[in-house]
Structure 1
């Protein structure tokens, strides 16, 4: 078994990273189980080598300076590479360990990702996983800065700093309750939905950027009843027939199966589609555990895309 305290770099890197996370030298020392003076000494040494202060000393704790932000990006890359090396060394002894950090959108965390995590646990029980739910627009930065190994998000623009590992093509539709006046439609326009009041995602979410142009072009007099970054709140309001929300089938699978909600494909522009993609930092050599997780996520996305095709054929 590989020594879990393997260090192939200066302790100052670990100390800096912990102080950055804790905003406190004393708390960082406690978590690292070392003396505060040792942590402070390493930070001062780094600041001397960099030639600039890395933290601002504030009454409520420490805050990164501009130099500290720059060093953070380097430190995150170093620590990720150490994790990859650790996993590869452990692989020589057939030890399936490691850690995977995922930044994901809310919809994918409802059913798709739990299905993947279940399979991951069965295959690699020693691999640990961290999941952070956030808006699509903030996920690329999490991947690029090293806060996440993988990013799972809808409709992200192309970036020179991220690589698309896989993607699924899903149709955007209106969510309504079974008793809603629009429930009998097999497809529908945004303008028709707006007549009954719409619930829009705010700009943190990719759906906002797909729906906002439709709202503008529909020349609707009414403003959205609600804008929120919570898709769960939107679904609850739809159940109470307080408005129409918009989403792909990803994240509402159980509601649709129980017939608690209906998903009516939008027919504007021949159909509005959103790609659910899995992203990693471009050029990064992914550790074994991360590659295994990415493979399972790709399989699950492909499965759900195949399941959707008979109901909502792709329109070109």
Structure 2
């Protein structure tokens, strides 16, 4: 059983659950306590801090400026309590814990399953939660405490995020083996644009990376499809609908079987998409989280393409 330390005021636990649920009633349900008890603790905190912590809006409760400041403190306190709990369990030889991962969709096909399989064998009592997000949404999941580890492409530097490892992966055109471009070893975006394109929506990092190429390319036709799903892009490229753009992460099985061809893009040099492993800066990682971070970093190092200049 995973140990849950209750060494801090219940007010902190209640505040954090209300922050996550944006509702006192839903927070009380999840905590299995009365709504009045949760509301009483929130009012007590607001009295002690001398400021309201939540603003009541039609869509639910929203943190005030004071609430945002207090939330950052609460996240640090609760995550550090989790670390203490995991270290105490490690001393007892239990190797328990829980790890929440926020990841981009492409990693759920091969890289993440491989890492989780190996770690499950080594740490069978550690539980894992995984949510798939666009790269730009991953930082907020880590910073808010919703995720312990973030896996994302092409993130800008952030003072509150620590990059534990990074792998460089060639961005390339994805086509069916019968496509006219399939025999090429490299291809320019302009050449790809002579055929129907399958483009990423702005929620995906690939969209931002291709914007400079799109801005200087005259498209002969509208894109065949724009989507936020890499899986849909892959399936349509496999069916010959158009040219999609991805790294080879997540399409390993299709490449090995010959169902898809990945042609690296070259526009005045290769285009790399950096895949990073992220945690919140200055956080002392619980034993289980640290083990998962190390395994993910090793997997990135093993699979990454060499970064050419």
Task: Give me the TM-score of the superposition, normalised by structure 1.
Answer: 0.91
Distance 1:26 1:220 in 2: 52
Alignment of 1:90-101 (within 5 A): 90-101=89-100
Per the alignment, in what secondary structure is the counterpart of residue 156 of structure 2? coil
SS at match of 1:72: helix
What residue is the counterpart of 1:274 in the other structure?
A: 273
Contact 2:194–2:220 (8 Å) recurs in 1: no
For these two proteins, the number of residue pairs brought into alignment is: 309
Shift of 1:197: 1.8
Q: Deviations over 1:132-152 (max 9, x none)?
A: 111111212222232221111
Corresponding residue number in structure 2 for 1:118: 117
SS for the counterpart of 1:270 is coil
**What's the counterpart of residue 106 of structure 1?**
105
Deviations 1:203-248 (A, max 9, x none): 2211112211112223334343322211111112212222111111
Tell me the secondary structure at the aligned position of residue 235 of structure 1: helix
Deviates more, 1:33-42 or 1:124-133: 33-42
2:248 corresponds to: 249
> Could you tell me whether the CA contact under 8 Å between 1:188 and 1:264 is conserved in 2?
yes
**Distance in 2 between the 1:158 and 1:275 partners?**
12
Superposed displacement of residue 6, structure 1: 2.1
**3-state SS of paired residue (2:268):** helix
Mapped pair 1:179 → 2:172: no
1:190 CA drift (Å): 0.6
Alignment pair present for 1:194 and 2:193: yes
- Shift of residue 39 of structure 1? 1.5
Distance verdict in 2 for CA 1:161–1:20, change over 3 Å: closer
Equivalent residue runs for 1:72-91 within 5 Å: 72-91=71-90
* Alignment correspondent of 2:293: 294
CA contact (8 A) 2:4 2:82 kept: no
Matches within 5 A, 1:1-316: 4-58=3-57, 61-305=60-304, 314-316=307-309
In 1, Cα distance between the equivalents of 2:18 and 2:232? 36
Change (3 A) 1:223 1:59: closer
1:262-313 C-alpha deviation (Å, 9 max, x unpaired)? 10111212211111111111111111111100111112112212xx56xxxx
Measured at CA, do residues 144 and 61 of structure 1 come closer, stay the same or move farther in structure 2, by a change above 3 Å? closer
The change in CA–CA distance for 1:21 and 1:315 in structure 2 (over 3 A counts) is: closer
Distance 1:18 1:27 in 2: 9
Q: 1:18-55 deviations in whole A, cap 9, x for unaligned?
A: 22233332332232222332222111101111222223
Distance 1:266 1:60, change over 3 A: closer
Q: 1:105·1:133 contact (CA, 8 Å) conserved in 2? A: yes
Secondary structure at the aligned position of 2:82 is classed as helix
* TM superposition score normalised by structure 2: 0.93
Unmatched tracts of structure 1, length 5 or more: none
CA distance in 2, matches of 1:61, 1:269: 50
Gaps of 5+ in 2: none
